[in-house]
Structure 1
Amino acid sequence: MPYKACIFDLDGTLADTLQSIACFGNGTLNAFGYPSIDPEEYKLLVGNGADMLIRRMLARVGAGLSEAEIKNFRAEYDRRYESRPMHLVTAYPGLQGLLSKLKSNGVKLGVLSNKPDNMTRAIVSKLYGNTPGAVRGQLPGVPAKPDPTAALAMARELGVSPGDVLYIGDSGVDMDTAKNAGMDSCGVLWGFRTEGELLEHGAKYLAGDAAALENIIDKR
């Protein structure tokens, strides 16, 4: 039987946000007197939420900030990001059509990200409208992925058991999230991390494009 539901990661999976994150990250670094980081390096800095991203950025440039200063840095990063959440953001090829087709075929859809909830909702709404039935980003008091809490809550919201869900993402964090939640995992090869990382973290499937992902979902 095909999967009853698919839960997607956002950054590097549904949305190409690399240049956007680098733009706002480097803008914030420059505002605090620090040099920019090569956008390609952000592929390894993201994935565990904005707080961890900020700390990795600051470590990368050798900044020794106090906790209060880090809080101010994060506030400035958030201000910049929230002012233009769609700046340099695009959907990956074929995914808008795929999600629409899945929904029309009765597959329930969710998006679960470690990006802050308001930014997750803004980007998903702009790129995919109301096609996903559940959308969640990082919320206070809810553990970030790979903790399974949010993934399991989303499965309940969608009305499906974890064993009927395919969790789709581009990183080891996503593959671990699926494993921890008792869901099958599919690693996408168009995102921020490598095939090797996905396999190392137990990806059940790998998809090189939207057509390959559709085949995995249909031919379970």
Structure 2
Amino acid sequence: MIKACIFDLDGTLANTLDSMAYVANEILKDMGLKEQPTENFKYYSGEGADMLVRRCLRDAGDPGLTRFEECRELYRKKFDEDPLYKVVPYEGIMELLHALRAAGVKLAVCTNKPHIAAVKVIDKMFTGCFDLVIGQSDAIRRKPAPDGPLKAAAEFDALPEECMYIGDTKTDMETGTAAGMHTIGALWGFRDREELESSGAEIVAEKPENLLKIYEELNYDKTGCK
């Protein structure tokens, strides 16, 4: 029986592409470096803010990362101040979350987004939907380490095999697999089917509403019983 669903945030619950690109490009412009196309941030993201900054700086004209610490601090500061700028939930996500809660499923977020920013986004944009938010901090290793999802499962008194982990990148698929959970790829996010399947997705969902059917199917054993 599925007791919990654990979601990635960027590219899974909310489209944060324009937000990440805007903040990073404002910083790059002020530094006299080359602004990057919004599309590039689909690949800069997924492994935490620090990795995003490194990838961005290399393409922007600082291959030696000589300005990494400066850029890193500015990026975190701007996101902590206004993590909701240009962030929108994906179509169908709110309806999905309400349906899962109505079914008695525990819901968590596990993201490599800094914890403070993650909490602000969830509290403001998904008020009352989630039982737990785990963002990047010194207390828990960032994904693809399975620490975050396993912490959520433990808090929900659920075994890993009683959890669905949903995300949109290679990092997420590796995370869910390492945690021993049903790992679902979100095709509406930042990466493609090939990446998701080759990285360990048990199932790939094309739209948020597909997740409810996947939950229902996983919630029944081969005899058709819960």
Match of 1:199 in 2: 197
- Normalized against structure 2, the TM-score is what? 0.93
C-alpha distance in structure 2 between counterparts of 1:79 and 1:11, whole Å: 18
Q: 1:166 aligns with which of 164, 167, 170?
A: 164
Question: Does 46-55 or 134-143 show the bigger shift?
Answer: 134-143
Q: How does 1:12-91 map to 2 (within 5 A)?
A: 12-63=11-62, 64-66=64-66, 69-91=67-89
Compute the displacement of 1:79 (Å). Answer: 2.1
Report the Cα offset of residue 204 of structure 1: 0.6
Instruction: Say if 1:133 and 1:158, in contact at 8 Å, map to a contact too.
Output: no
Deviation at 1:184, TM superposition (A): 0.9
State the Cα deviation string for residues 127-153 of structure 1 (Å, max 9, x = none).
Answer: 211211011100114211010112111
The equivalent residue for 2:99 is 101
| C-alpha distance in 1 between matches for 2:98 and 2:73 | 36
Moved more, 9-18 or 27-36: 27-36
1:219 is displaced (CA, Å) by 1.3
C-alpha RMSD of the superposition: 1.1
Report the secondary structure of 2:77's partner residue. helix
Uncovered stretches (5+) of structure 1, i.e. residues with no partner: none
Contact 2:34 2:61 in 1 (8 A): no
1:166 shift after superposition: 0.5
Residue 117 in structure 1 maps to residue 115 in structure 2 = yes
Separation in 2, partners of 1:197, 1:132: 28
Distance 2:29 2:208 in 1: 37
Structure 1 residues 143-182: aligned runs within 5 Å: 143-182=141-180
2:204 alignment partner, SS class: strand
Give unmatched runs, 5+ long, in structure 2.
219-226
> Percentage identity across aligned positions?
39
Letter in 2 for 1:127: M
Tell whether the 8 Å contact from 2:164 to 2:183 is kept in structure 1 after alignment.
yes
Code of the residue aligned with 2:15 in structure 1: it is D
Report if the CA contact (8 A) 2:54-2:65 is conserved: no
Q: What's the CA shift for 1:70?
A: 1.7
Could you tell me how far 1:61 is from its partner in structure 2? Answer: 1.6
Q: Partners of 1:93 and 1:65 in 2: how far apart?
A: 37
- The 8 Å contact of residues 101 and 129 in structure 2, kept in 1 or not, is answered as yes
Equivalent residue number for residue 223 of structure 2: none
Distance apart, 1:37 and its partner CA: 0.4
Equivalent residues of 1:134, 1:158 under 8 A apart: no
Q: Is the partner of 1:219 in helix, strand or coil?
A: helix
The Cα of 1:83 is off from its aligned counterpart by 2.4
SS, match of residue 174 in structure 1: helix
Residue type of the alignment partner of 1:71: E
